[in-house]
A and B are shown apart, each in its own frame.
Chain A
């Protein structure tokens, strides 16, 4: 069951790497949030505990509703252009993504022989991390960078579930909170950047140099 969801997750990654719209990113974020919360919920289907359900719920709330809504709001407020401004061709980017994904899957498969771990979520989480980095590296728009960062975070989350780390709940919550605040601060920063620097992309940030 997890594996299926992870596959879906990977597909979302493919989608994100070809989509040339900012909107696309947001939807992908929502989708991933949904997937993640489902993945966490799964254990609770068998033995339900009201206490254990808090985390998935908050996850759902944060990742599916709050953050995407917030990003949408920023996009509307600053009326950022719809197109993401890639610095390399989408095709090349996709190629890169595919190659690295394949590598990651193979490597994690090899590693899984040493220590038992369920490959699919592990690999897909990891590739999400890498692709998040790629998105940051090969896109110009700052808002897209934020999206990339979030994808990275999602990747880590999936990854975490894959390696079955039982972090205590309040720490998990803390992590979520942190992520949320980061995004929030980034939003504020974006607002300021658009107002003071008149631009939404990295080219506006070139002042600090030696």
Chain B
């Protein structure tokens, strides 16, 4: 218990204790409402304290980062990476927990039992925090599994719905596969170093021979969790059906544990061969492009956001890939930019993805549907919701002046760096990746203009009875939007933190490539834009006062009574893009062209399925099932066969014995 009782650790321990004590009320509070209120408040307090303790740690103070703070005879480690992810988790968990107050109220009104959800949510938060600070492999595995399972148990809140049943099952199976893979990963590490402590695992020289296996295992195992492209198929199934709070947390944080795992693996295996970097890069760019393209084809808002998680994980992966290449070629600048971009984007994505998910939750709760084709005109109902959602969308599309841009900016610079440092054919390849990333940006713009405009703008496609938003929604959304703005406008601090994290055991030699970038000018430019925009706006208003301003109906090309159904729909908005890769998107559309002088009612609809899921996974399972159904000889019901089996097996064993040397 070295150094256990300094103030920081006390806070730290207290945080966990309080968070866990949110479970206590279940014992003696019968009423669902009272129970969830109390436990949620306790949980919130715990989280806040946790955040404070994290912020008071050496990562965020100006002092030098103490690399390995080991507690409880090394079972807990607070190093740079761990603290950073801890920070992310708590940062996202606080708004989602606040959001709970208003969100769970809906379920209480429906008289749906939510005890189980609250419990599993609490357990989920705690276990997720444990993952990133665990320094003991078994502890890690246990908290990993507990996290997955509690997430599952939370997911099945509306379990009687078919889709919920199906989606959550996808999730469960995926996490079971993951854990099997990770078992082998840790067994190998344990065997090599014969220690169960993660802090002993960076013994790269002895691991050289098994390094490829270890890397592949970790990339598959953690990659499934993170949702890289071939392994993503569970993600768009699971995230939409979860209760909003949970899907925000899942997309925001839990898939990041996969990233955490991969980064840890890098720490174990550093220095890593270059091909690993290429593998990660290629898979990531594919995930990014097709993730966002799938997203473009969705009509279910949460499903769309889930696919965007795939995209963003791809972008993070690109950063990691650059970092790998850097460390393979011993170029600190490259490492710093790559990993820095990845880490910062992890933070950013956690923020704006949870923001968007929470926003979508408010909407879908009020409208009782997740299909964006039935939405519209919500801006007139809830203006601030629209603004927050807009901020999130701009941020996630990587467009200035919000945080999404900053991290993508770093990654771009990483590519430039790579092109500069590594001559001959590198510039060409790097440029291809740059273009890919730019392409992703463009698609993201298309996608988010689509959902913003379809959901919020225009007129209501389906009559909205009443649109209720509570103060808690606005608090949680507000916090997250503020973070988006803060990181966007003044990235300097966060860059400093990220740089510190990278300093602890990532780079071969420290480099100022990240800190040295001209962050101040970014800040200046953004604030200039904001300032001049505001000024110009007021000028414009003044001028409009002078020359008059009025509103009138939209010009309908002379056509008088325009109905909401005449607006442009999401399907038609995205159609021109979706037909391009229609085999991969499994994109079907049904168009009825109207004919004759008096055309009848016509229809246009489009669907997209997941390629991996529908063309690979399910067929394989069906195939296996078919083979199994062929095996009949075992399913005999007759006692005579049973007896016969004994004779046969004894003969077989006898033969083995006879042939035995």
Q: Do A and B bind each other?
A: yes
A residues lining the B interface (CB < 8 Å) = 133, 136-138, 145, 202, 205-210
A206 to B636, CA, bound (A): 9
CB of B399 to closest CB in A, whole Å: 58
Chain A residues near B644 (CB, 8 Å)? 137
B563 at the interface (CB under 8 A from A): no
Instruction: Determine whether the beta carbon of B638 is less than 8 Å from that of A136.
Output: no
Instruction: Determine whether the beta carbon of A137 is less than 8 Å from that of B643.
Output: yes
A210 to B634, CA, bound (A): 11
CB of B370 to closest CB in A, whole Å: 39
Q: In the complex, what residue of chain A is closest to B635 when comparing beta carbons?
A: A210
Instruction: Determine whether the beta carbon of B640 is less than 8 Å from that of A136.
Output: yes
B637 at the interface (CB under 8 A from A): yes
A202 to B644, CA, bound (A): 14
Instruction: Determine whether the beta carbon of B635 is less than 8 Å from that of A202.
Output: no
A206 to B637, CA, bound (A): 6
Chain B residues near A208 (CB, 8 Å)? 637
B639 at the interface (CB under 8 A from A): yes
CB of B654 to closest CB in A, whole Å: 10
CB of A108 to closest CB in B, whole Å: 14
CB of A176 to closest CB in B, whole Å: 23
Instruction: Determine whether the beta carbon of A209 is less than 8 Å from that of B635.
Output: yes
**Could you tell me which residues of chain B, from 622 to 652, have a CB within 8 Å of some CB in chain A?**
635, 637-640, 643-644, 646-647
A138 to B635, CA, bound (A): 19
Instruction: Determine whether the beta carbon of B639 is less than 8 Å from that of A205.
Output: yes
Specify the main secondary structure of chain B where it touches its partner: helix
Instruction: Determine whether the beta carbon of A202 is less than 8 Å from that of B643.
Output: no
Q: In the complex, what residue of chain B is closest to A207 when comparing beta carbons?
A: B637
Instruction: Determine whether the beta carbon of B643 is less than 8 Å from that of A136.
Output: yes
Instruction: Determine whether the beta carbon of A202 is less than 8 Å from that of B638.
Output: yes
The interface size bin for chain B is under 10
Residue of A137, A138, A205 contacting most chain B CB atoms (<10 Å): A137
Q: In the complex, what residue of chain A is closest to B641 when comparing beta carbons?
A: A137
B residues lining the A interface (CB < 8 Å) = 635, 637-640, 643-644, 646-647
- Known contacts A145-B639, A202-B640, A205-B638; can you find 5 more A-B pairs with CB under 8 A? A133-B646, A137-B640, A137-B644, A205-B639, A206-B638
Chain A residues near B647 (CB, 8 Å)? 133, 137
A127 to B233, CA, bound (A): 60
CB of B645 to closest CB in A, whole Å: 10
Chain B residues near A207 (CB, 8 Å)? 637
A210 to B632, CA, bound (A): 11
Q: In the complex, what residue of chain A is closest to B646 when comparing beta carbons?
A: A133
Q: In the complex, what residue of chain A is closest to B636 when comparing beta carbons?
A: A209
A208 to B646, CA, bound (A): 20
Name 24 A/B residue pairs within 8 A (Cβ), A-sorted.
A133-B643, A133-B646, A133-B647, A136-B639, A136-B640, A136-B643, A137-B643, A137-B644, A137-B647, A138-B640, A145-B639, A202-B638, A202-B639, A202-B640, A205-B637, A205-B638, A205-B639, A206-B637, A206-B638, A207-B637, A208-B637, A209-B635, A209-B637, A210-B635
CB of A140 to closest CB in B, whole Å: 9
CB of B158 to closest CB in A, whole Å: 32
CB of A160 to closest CB in B, whole Å: 18
Chain A residues near B638 (CB, 8 Å)? 202, 205-206
A143 to B610, CA, bound (A): 60
CB of A138 to closest CB in B, whole Å: 8
What 10 pairs between A and B have smallest CB-CB spacing? A209-B637, A137-B640, A206-B637, A136-B643, A137-B644, A210-B635, A133-B647, A202-B638, A202-B639, A137-B643
A207 to B638, CA, bound (A): 10
Residue of A133, A145, A205, A210 contacting most chain B CB atoms (<10 Å): A133
Chain B residues near A137 (CB, 8 Å)? 640, 643-644, 647
CB of B223 to closest CB in A, whole Å: 37
Q: In the complex, what residue of chain A is closest to B643 when comparing beta carbons?
A: A136
Q: In the complex, what residue of chain B is closest to A139 when comparing beta carbons?
A: B640
A145 to B644, CA, bound (A): 13
Chain B residues near A210 (CB, 8 Å)? 635
Q: In the complex, what residue of chain A is closest to B638 when comparing beta carbons?
A: A202
A137 to B642, CA, bound (A): 9
Q: In the complex, what residue of chain B is closest to A206 when comparing beta carbons?
A: B637
CB of A175 to closest CB in B, whole Å: 20
Chain A residues near B639 (CB, 8 Å)? 136, 145, 202, 205
Q: In the complex, what residue of chain A is closest to B634 when comparing beta carbons?
A: A210
A138 to B641, CA, bound (A): 10
CB of A59 to closest CB in B, whole Å: 25
CB of A167 to closest CB in B, whole Å: 23
Q: In the complex, what residue of chain A is closest to B644 when comparing beta carbons?
A: A137
A210 to B643, CA, bound (A): 19
Q: In the complex, what residue of chain B is closest to A152 when comparing beta carbons?
A: B643
Q: In the complex, what residue of chain B is closest to A149 when comparing beta carbons?
A: B643
A202 to B638, CA, bound (A): 7
A145 to B640, CA, bound (A): 9
Chain A residues near B640 (CB, 8 Å)? 136-138, 202
Chain B residues near A138 (CB, 8 Å)? 640
CB of A96 to closest CB in B, whole Å: 12
CB of A155 to closest CB in B, whole Å: 14
A55 to B639, CA, bound (A): 33
Chain A residues near B635 (CB, 8 Å)? 209-210
A190 to B613, CA, bound (A): 54
CB of A30 to closest CB in B, whole Å: 24
A1 to B535, CA, bound (A): 123
Q: In the complex, what residue of chain A is closest to B640 when comparing beta carbons?
A: A137
CB of B443 to closest CB in A, whole Å: 49
A81 to B264, CA, bound (A): 76
CB of B644 to closest CB in A, whole Å: 5
CB of B318 to closest CB in A, whole Å: 50
Chain B residues near A206 (CB, 8 Å)? 637-638
